[in-house]
């Protein structure tokens, strides 16, 4: 396997050089959101103030937030869509992957940069560090972020402990079944950029399985050598509780198992259930809970008529 291509976001800090490389390319930044009022303003503001004219459009695709996420994003310069309003003729789902897929219908860029909406201490390198390799090297189609992920305990941050689903679930699955992807440092990172032609060739699970699905499908298509990674140093965001992480792992596991069967690595004797069952245990009570997480997939846009 070829040596993985790795960069540091500081390699792409020269805006004049990036603009010279940009030429006629059009660059879109898309941010999926659900109740991100606390962080969306600084993210959009930084992109709008520091990265124009490199970035041609900033889109926020929102999953019907109940807080003022949409209003704040719009006030700081983003074009805001409710995910339900994009392709309203079809069925809509609530989920991160749904928003990313819908964004492809609303953007005009031939290079798309996805940024999560819950990042604290956001800086312009999140965009330039991911777009830069695409502009510089035509042999790169997809650029993933990696970083240190501190875990917050109250007002304190521990340098390790973040990315628990990646370390406990996804990395073991990659080691067992897709070792050709073991070079990925943060396989579930929500920050990545790609050429539109590449994204339109991929399926999009509607929830949290979208990132691992992309990597597996690119590897299946013989394109793992066209994936690069950029060091963004550190990512601070809100930590999710165990229930949320369990639901995320359930969705990801469905997506991976479907691909294992598709790729002839496993044979499932029964259909996968979509009911996630778990326990909530406190000092007072132990309560069994359940949640339906179907994790359907949006087809490659290239396959749509």
**In this predicted model, what pLDDT tens digit does every residue of 189-245 receive, in sequence order?**
999 999 999 999 999 999 999 999 999 999 999 999 999 999 999 887 566 678 889
Percent of the chain with pLDDT over 90: 84
Other beta carbons within 10 angstroms of residue 52's beta carbon come to: 12
Q: Which of 147, 219, 229 is nearest to 184 (CA)?
A: 229
Asked if 37 contacts 8 with a C-beta cutoff of 8 angstroms, the reply is no
- Whether 305 has a pLDDT exceeding 90, the answer reads no
Reference 195, options 145, 99, 131; nearest CA is 131
Mean pLDDT of the chain: 92
| Site of tokens 């521990």 | 158
Cα 147 from Cα 232, distance rounded (Å): 5
Angstrom distance (rounded) from CA 229 to CA 8: 8
Tell me the domain boundaries of the chain.
5-294
Find out whether 108 and 28 touch, Cβ atoms under 8 Å. yes
Model confidence band, residue 152 (pLDDT cutoffs 50, 70, 90): low
Phi-psi category of 162—alpha, beta or left, where left has phi over 0 and alpha has psi -120 to 50? beta
User: Rounded to whole angstroms, how far apart are CA atoms 288 and 23?
Assistant: 57
Which tokens sit at 45?
A: 């503001």
**CB hemisphere CA count around 154 (13 angstroms):** 1
pLDDT in tens, 276-300: 999 888 888 999 999 999 999 999 9
Phi-psi region of 229 (alpha: psi -120 to 50; beta: other; left: phi over 0): beta
**What pLDDT, on a 0 to 100 scale, did the predictor assign at position 217?**
98
Task: Read off the pLDDT of each residue in 14-31 and give the average, rounded to a whole number.
Answer: 98
Domain range 5-294, its CATH number among 1.10.357.10, 3.40.50.1370, 3.90.550.10, 3.30.420.40:
3.90.550.10
Band of pLDDT at residue 2, cut at 50, 70 and 90: low
> Taking a C-beta distance cutoff of 8 angstroms, is the pair 274, 295 a contact?
yes
Phi–psi pair at 263, nearest 5 degrees:
-90, 5
Q: Region 74-80: what's the mean pLDDT?
A: 97
Per-residue pLDDT tens over the stretch 155-196: 444 445 457 899 999 999 999 999 999 999 999 999 999 999
CA 200, chain centre distance (Å): 15
């Amino acid at each position: 396997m070829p040596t993985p291509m790795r960069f540091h976001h500081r390699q792409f800090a020269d805006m004049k050089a990036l603009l010279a490389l940009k030429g006629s390319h059009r660059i879109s930044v898309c941010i999926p959101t659900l109740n991100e009022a606390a962080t969306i303003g600084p993210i959009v503001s930084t992109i709008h103030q520091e990265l124009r004219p490199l970035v041609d459009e900033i889109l926020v695709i929102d999953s019907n937030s109940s807080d003022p996420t949409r209003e704040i994003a719009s006030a700081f310069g983003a074009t805001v869509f409710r995910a339900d309003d994009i392709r309203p003729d079809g069925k809509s789902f609530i989920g991160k992957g749904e928003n990313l897929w819908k964004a492809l219908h609303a953007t005009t860029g031939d290079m798309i940069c996805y940024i999560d909406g819950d990042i604290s201490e956001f800086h312009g390198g999140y965009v330039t560090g991911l777009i830069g390799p695409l502009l510089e090297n035509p042999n790169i189609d997809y650029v993933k972020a990696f970083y240190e992920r501190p875990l917050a305990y109250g007002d304190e941050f521990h340098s390790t402990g973040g990315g628990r689903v990646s370390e406990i679930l996804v990395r073991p699955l990659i080691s067992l079944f897709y070792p050709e992807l073991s070079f990925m440092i943060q396989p579930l990172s929500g920050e990545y950029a790609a050429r539109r032609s590449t994204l339109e060739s991929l399926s999009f699970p509607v929830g949290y399985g979208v990132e691992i699905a992309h990597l597996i499908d690119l590897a299946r298509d013989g394109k793992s050598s066209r994936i690069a990674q950029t060091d963004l140093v550190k990512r601070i965001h809100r930590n999710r509780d165990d229930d949320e992480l369990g639901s995320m792992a359930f969705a990801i596991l469905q997506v991976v198992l479907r691909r294992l069967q598709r790729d002839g690595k496993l044979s499932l004797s029964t259909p996968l259930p979509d009911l996630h069952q778990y326990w909530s245990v406190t000092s007072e009570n132990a309560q069994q809970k359940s949640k339906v997480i179907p994790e359907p997939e949006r087809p490659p846009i290239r396959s749509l008529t």
